[in-house]
Structure 1
Amino acid sequence: MKKTLLGLSALLTIGTASAQGTITITGAGASFPYPLYSKMFAEYKGANVNYQSVGSGSGQKQILERTVDFAGSDNPMTDAQLKDAPGKLLHIPTAIGAVVPAFNLPGVTKLNFDGPTLANIYLGKIKTWGDPAIKKLNPGVTIPPLPITVARRSDGSGTTFVFSDYLSKVSSEWKSKVGAGNSLQWPVGTGAKGNDGVAGVVKSTPGAIGYVELVYAKQNKLNFGAVKNRAGKFIVADNGPASKAAEGVVIPADTRVSLTNSANADAYPIASFTYVIFYQDQKYGSRTEAQGKALKNLLTYMVTTGQQYNEGLDYAKLPAGVASKAKNIINSMNYGGKKL
């Protein structure tokens, strides 16, 4: 099957004939799972689904404002954000994805990185590819001494959160000076919108490095580095190593958890769940009970039948225990107190 990456700002509209008639479900947010959601929604037969890939930060804002039925986000909302919401918001993970350091170095296809080195590149402390820290991780590799062009997100981004969450765990300097978040005060870098925007900067700029979700690196034919995990192994991102990041992690009932820098010896260290966020009580504004049921049916599909599309698009499936927790969360949805 040929994979097609749709543009970041594109609006995915899938129309189907169904028992739900003309019900349309709207969502917005993360670009991280956009290739997967494009496929899921194209195959879904229960309703029309519109999903706008505008970044996790925007998705969270829109679900708080109740202008969409669901938000896509690569990081869970904080307790403070949830407290400010006009109703109880729920999270369910739909996949596990990997964030990779993609690079453009003429003549170089494979590189090793570790957390401190990536942090120092993004702190602006490592400025050229010929830096001793990079050479030490890559013995025998002839690396051109080009200046490093740092590419990063300009929009509120769950991919940024995942990457910066990882850096905060492996670099005390990064944690104290920059920290983790959807939007950051970047020390250096060229900003671009969406995973596809960052991928575009890397692809067009010799000497560039940028963090992107795995599928965007593959579809743009970008080289990406192996990253040293907590066990000291250099791991190349793939479905298996990404899935390993969730093994041994205690998943809370609400599923909000970080998977970065996993202790699993075979895990890729910059991995994360990607989430859908929605209201438990679907009776608000002018919403009908049928709309609430349509959303519940879609979400159930995403964590069950829809999982068949994850691996073919370079995402890991939900572990069985996590999928079970997600179904329990979905089943708690109601319409004005009435179970959907």
Structure 2
Amino acid sequence: MNSVLSRYKRLASIGAIAVAGTILLSSCAANEAGTTDPSAAASDLAGTIDGSGASSQGSAQEAWVAAFQTENPDVTINYDPSGSGAGREAFISGGVSFAGTDSALKQDEIDGGFAACVPDTGYIQVPAYISPIAVIFNVEGVDALNLDAPTIAGIFKGTITTWNDPAIAALNADATLPSAPITAVHRSDDSGTTKNFTDYLNKVAPEIWDAPAADPFPYQVGEAAQGTSGVVDAVTNGTNTIGYADASKAGDLGVAAIKVGDEFVDYSPEAAAAVVAGSPAGDTASDTDLVISLDRKTTDPTHYPLVLVSYIITCTEFVDAEVAPVVKAYVQYITSDAGQSEAASSAGAAPLSTDLSAKVATALESIK
């Protein structure tokens, strides 16, 4: 586990280019349609676009917009990492030109339409950021922790309440577990990270986690915290705590290895990418909606099934036509080889596969 954490610390080193101390990210950005190098950006591209949504994308968005700022001084991109639910709501109401979400659009959201888009012209939903979800912990005297899905479900549902519970002890024979209460921290806001976390538990441990996947945390137990940063802070500053967060934010916290098949697996970009590559399309999939139905029940130990795919949603045709060239150029950049490399360096994200990248590029050509 320590080697994995060290890798993520190294990958995070370029985050210093980010705009610090703010949740509103401003940048100037764009590139010529179809290019993958921000240095090749069209110098005459100009305008401002606003986006909001998934806080999991926060570090990547900082790096993406900073790269665009360097190359395109006449373009401003604002991204507010307010959470997936808030981002989708803002996009649906026409408050932003694009949104980031770890939770794919539901059919009723699609059916209701999007105020920023010309009616009956469609929408875009493409993967932009793939990352493991880390089960983070801060337990006195414990440096390494193995957990399986039923045990994680019991901890976060509140049926396993102490660290030396037999279920945890059976998975950690070499650990000295304290006889202390568990403080399990979950998101208080509607969160795509929560939806992916609860989807994993519902699929792999349904006999315990009987609530379906959802953006709001389903049980009235544990401690709630706002956003990814709130969960990380609560686990860091608490005592004998555990939570879940995008792996890029794990920092120096302990991270549990989860059981996949007969082995305990540490998170990695490669293992996250392997799950995505082996998963089928989701129910709403189309040429411009590249939703993925993740294979949570894999038993392949080269896969890490507790993973999120964070999407960008936007219009194929905008009511405000002036934003279209900027949105198209920006999303083309962040999903390009150069943009994906930036996300890997700044946030430890797993890059889109060659096949998925090609499908994304084709979908984005629909933006007018």
With the length of structure 1 as denominator, give the TM-score of the two structures: 0.90
Match of 1:238 among 268, 279, 284: 268
Q: 1:81 to 1:246 in 2, by over 3 A?
A: same
Distance 2:259 2:301 in 1: 10
Name the counterpart of 2:323.
291
User: What is the CA RMSD across the aligned residues, in angstroms?
Assistant: 2.0
Distance 2:277 2:109 in 1: 28
The percent identity for this pair of structures is 29
Name the counterpart of 1:257.
292
Aligned length: 326
The AA in structure 1 aligned to 2:367 is M
After TM superposition, the structure 1 = structure 2 runs for residues 110-129 of structure 1, keeping only pairs within 5 Å, are: 110-129=144-163
Pair 1:317 & 2:351 matched: yes
Q: 1:163 to 1:7 in 2, by over 3 A?
A: farther
SS of aligned partner of 1:209:
strand
Name the counterpart of 1:338.
none
Offset from partner CA, 1:8-65 (integer Å, 9 cap, x none): 9710112469734651111000001110111011102342110001000000000000
Shift of 1:167: 0.7
Name the counterpart of 1:226.
257
Q: 1:171 to 1:6 in 2, by over 3 A?
A: farther
Q: Conserved in 1, the CA contact under 8 Å of 2:280 and 2:294?
A: no
The AA in structure 1 aligned to 2:262 is G
Q: Conserved in 2, the CA contact under 8 Å of 1:119 and 1:174?
A: yes
Q: 1:33 to 1:262 in 2, by over 3 A?
A: farther
Match of 2:108 among 63, 80, 83: 80
Distance 2:153 2:272 in 1: 21
After TM superposition, the structure 1 = structure 2 runs for residues 150-189 of structure 1, keeping only pairs within 5 Å, are: 150-176=184-210, 178-189=211-222
Q: Conserved in 2, the CA contact under 8 Å of 1:112 and 1:234?
A: yes
Q: 1:211 to 1:9 in 2, by over 3 A?
A: farther
Shift of 1:311: 2.1
Distance 2:184 2:21 in 1: 20
The AA in structure 2 aligned to 1:160 is T
Instruction: Specify every segment of 5 or more residues in structure 2 that has no aligned partner in the other structure, as ranges.
Output: 1-12, 31-41
Pair 1:134 & 2:172 matched: no
Q: Conserved in 2, the CA contact under 8 Å of 1:260 and 1:272?
A: no
Name the counterpart of 1:212.
245
Distance 2:21 2:199 in 1: 23
Shift of 1:174: 4.6
Shift of 1:265: 3.5
Distance 1:114 1:142 in 2: 18
After TM superposition, the structure 1 = structure 2 runs for residues 83-94 of structure 1, keeping only pairs within 5 Å, are: 83-86=111-114, 87=119, 88-94=122-128
Shift of 1:184: 3.0
Pair 1:190 & 2:223 matched: yes
With the length of structure 2 as denominator, give the TM-score of the two structures: 0.84
Name the counterpart of 1:53.
81
Q: 1:40 to 1:185 in 2, by over 3 A?
A: same
Distance 2:221 2:152 in 1: 13
Distance 1:48 1:12 in 2: 10
Offset from partner CA, 1:245-286 (integer Å, 9 cap, x none): 11322345422123252524311120121100111222x1xx
Bigger shift: residues 15-24 or 237-246: 15-24
Shift of 1:160: 0.4
Pair 1:13 & 2:26 matched: yes
Distance 2:22 2:192 in 1: 16
Distance 2:155 2:84 in 1: 24
Offset from partner CA, 1:78-105 (integer Å, 9 cap, x none): 1111111244322011121011110001
The AA in structure 2 aligned to 1:224 is V
Q: Conserved in 2, the CA contact under 8 Å of 1:112 and 1:225?
A: yes
Q: 1:79 to 1:16 in 2, by over 3 A?
A: closer
Distance 1:115 1:8 in 2: 36
Distance 1:206 1:325 in 2: 46
